[in-house]
Structure 1
Amino acid sequence: MNTKLSIGIVGVGKIARDQHLPAIAALDGFELVASASRNAQVDGVRNYKTIEEMLAAEPQLDAVSLCATPQVRFDQARAALAAGKHVMLEKPPGASVHEVDVLRSMARAAGRTLFATWHSRYAPAVETAREWLASRTLQEVQVRWKEDVRRWHPGQAWIWTPGGLGVFDPGINALSIITHMLPREVVLREATLSVPANVQTPIAANLDFVDEAGVPVRAEFDWRHGPVEQWEIVVRTSDGELHLSEGGKKLAIAGKPVEIGPEREYPSLYERFHWLITHGEHDVDVRPLRLVADAFLLGRRHEVEPFHD
């Protein structure tokens, strides 16, 4: 990454502080020069309240990284592309599938890079698992993605509103892995969505997919789980069982642990973003978001007890 690119970050919340800011600071390819956030600031850079203020005051910016909630992502990305900036989208890339397609067309017309990120695909065990599965005969896939919403989204009301995705906010991480890791495409057949009586998005979901060969792929997402998270994917094959656990940090095949590298999901994302910019490329895969949209379209809604944070 010999080319140094200036970047601004938009939306300085938990994910930005926990992941984006350390990743940018650790890489030579980017220099963080500005941030835009209604309620927070970043030390050592110029700070603005809105992306419009930042873009007007920072014409030299090469790129922006959008970390605000998905409901506002389209307008922010549109403004950045219109200003001639390369754009990186935190997951999910938008509140709808179509708006991401529109942004992709806008980026191509502007000659700028658009990168829709899926950080869980860069978990250290995922690529090794994908390579092993490529030459195996799959028999069944089980996905269990369960955690405590009060730990991971304390006081965040946006997740319970339309576009906030509810339990699919973490569940889409699992979908991003299986759409990358499994050798064939999967199609949703049916879904059950458990929605608290006082909110708009599900707190749990059960999904039944099949792949192109008819192999069953079943997923369970639940935000009422604890105290230890269960982020695992089990693939039964003719050559034994593959077990991906801890969100892709650990891998076992036929009961034997596989040695993998260290975790560096977000540094890898920014390395990828830098490569895309310097090579004039795009990376916009909407398949995980499309599967979530299919779940809302096909899912049976089951009302459960109200949620109180």
Structure 2
Amino acid sequence: MAEIRLAIVGLGKIAHDQHLPAVAATPGISVAAVASRNATLDGVPCFLTIEALLASGVEVDAVALCTPPMGRHRLAAAALRAGKHVLLEKPPGASVAEIAPLEALARDRGLTLFATWHSRFAPAVEPARALLAEAEIRSVRVNWKEDVRHWHPGQEWIWQPGGLGVFDPGINALSIVTRILPRPLFVTEAVLEFPGNRATPIAASLRLGDAAGLEVAVEFDWRQTGPQSWDIHVDTADGALVLSGGGRHLSRDGAILHDAPEREYTEIYHRFVALIGAGASEVDLAPLVHVADAFMLGERRVVAEFHW
């Protein structure tokens, strides 16, 4: 298969920090163009909009959409109609229902649509999944708490409708939980804390369950200072498993079982290249469905205003 010529749409912090280095480290794919309102990249053609890119005649085979989720459906549809494979940053869209038409369009055009969940590619996630496949799981507790000022400095879009608020990082935890647990989950209750001056929550408490009666307790908070917490605790009949560091480390009863450097985005691009080569798509909406259900079921509480 010829090298895939990739266009990155939305050259912001996540594209600079993760996508560009990951593409550079992945055989079979390279950056051929950029479309971004606020940034350019030396050495490749740059455009202000995806429409200008697609009309330019610059040859690209695939598009990675690294924009905020609001409005991403239009960008993905434009790329698919132009015959380009599409990689969607997480979350795949601003709503659940907007993804099905993209899946249909990709299928009709024989193109790859890849809805990525980068935390699923953390090195200890698959080992945890293998251990839990046949385990007697008694309870699950998730603590995903970080400092929004550090990770999203000045990014107002996260507080706007569709920006998800604390669910922007929280959906990473849900993407791991829905991968490692053997049965589908559903939200049973939620409490969402909204700053008085913001449209999206700064903290959330969820309870999820499954058909066998398993209970999963989830705590998200964007007000964490000091050490950051990205931990999933699973109590099993064989001991207490802890998946920590956002999925980098796995231990059981304090003994390290798996610990490896982060390669999430490199693994994403290896997967994207493989999907294109196989003529396949990969779209799992479970984490986004849980977020949507939390907003639908959740009790809304107003808390102190948030200011940068």
Residue 174 of structure 2 corresponds to residue 175 of structure 1: yes
Secondary structure of residue in 1 paired with 2:246: helix
Contact 2:140 2:215 (8 Å CA) reproduced: yes
Give how far 1:47 is off.
Answer: 0.5
Matched ranges for 1:211-250 at <5 A: 211-250=210-249
Matched ranges for 1:30-109 at <5 A: 30-58=29-57, 60-109=59-108
Matches of 2:111 and 2:57 in 1, distance apart?
17
Counterpart code for 1:289: L
User: Which residue of structure 2 lines up, in the alignment, with residue 294 of structure 1?
Assistant: 293
Cα shift readout 1:255-276 (whole Å, capped 9, x = no counterpart): 2111343321001000100111
Give how far 1:254 is off.
Answer: 2.3
User: Which residue of structure 2 lines up, in the alignment, with residue 277 of structure 1?
Assistant: 276
User: Which residue of structure 1 lines up, in the alignment, with residue 189 of structure 2?
Assistant: 190
Residues 14 and 303 of structure 1: CA distance in aligned 2, closer, same or farther (over 3 Å): same
Counterpart code for 2:253: A
Residue 145 of structure 2 corresponds to residue 146 of structure 1: yes
User: Which residue of structure 2 lines up, in the alignment, with residue 258 of structure 1?
Assistant: 257
Residue 112 of structure 2 corresponds to residue 113 of structure 1: yes
Contact 2:186 2:210 (8 Å CA) reproduced: yes
Q: CA RMSD in A?
A: 0.9
Residues 303 and 29 of structure 1: CA distance in aligned 2, closer, same or farther (over 3 Å): same
Contact 2:127 2:258 (8 Å CA) reproduced: no
Give how far 1:227 is off.
Answer: 1.7
Contact 2:208 2:215 (8 Å CA) reproduced: yes
Give the total of aligned pairs.
308
Aligned identity (percent) is 56
User: Stretches of 4+ moved more than 6 A in 1?
Assistant: none
Contact 2:103 2:113 (8 Å CA) reproduced: yes
Contact 2:249 2:260 (8 Å CA) reproduced: no
Cα shift readout 1:54-107 (whole Å, capped 9, x = no counterpart): 111145211000000100210100100010000000000000001011111111
Matches of 2:58 and 2:84 in 1, distance apart?
9
Cα shift readout 1:220-259 (whole Å, capped 9, x = no counterpart): 0000001211000000001101000010111101221113
Counterpart code for 1:14: K
Give how far 1:212 is off.
Answer: 1.8
Give how far 1:42 is off.
Answer: 1.1
Contact 2:188 2:208 (8 Å CA) reproduced: yes
Q: Which stretch of the first structure deviates more once superposed, 257-266 or 113-122?
A: 257-266
Cα shift readout 1:174-217 (whole Å, capped 9, x = no counterpart): 00001111011111000000000111100000000112211110
Matches of 2:288 and 2:58 in 1, distance apart?
32
Matches of 2:28 and 2:72 in 1, distance apart?
24
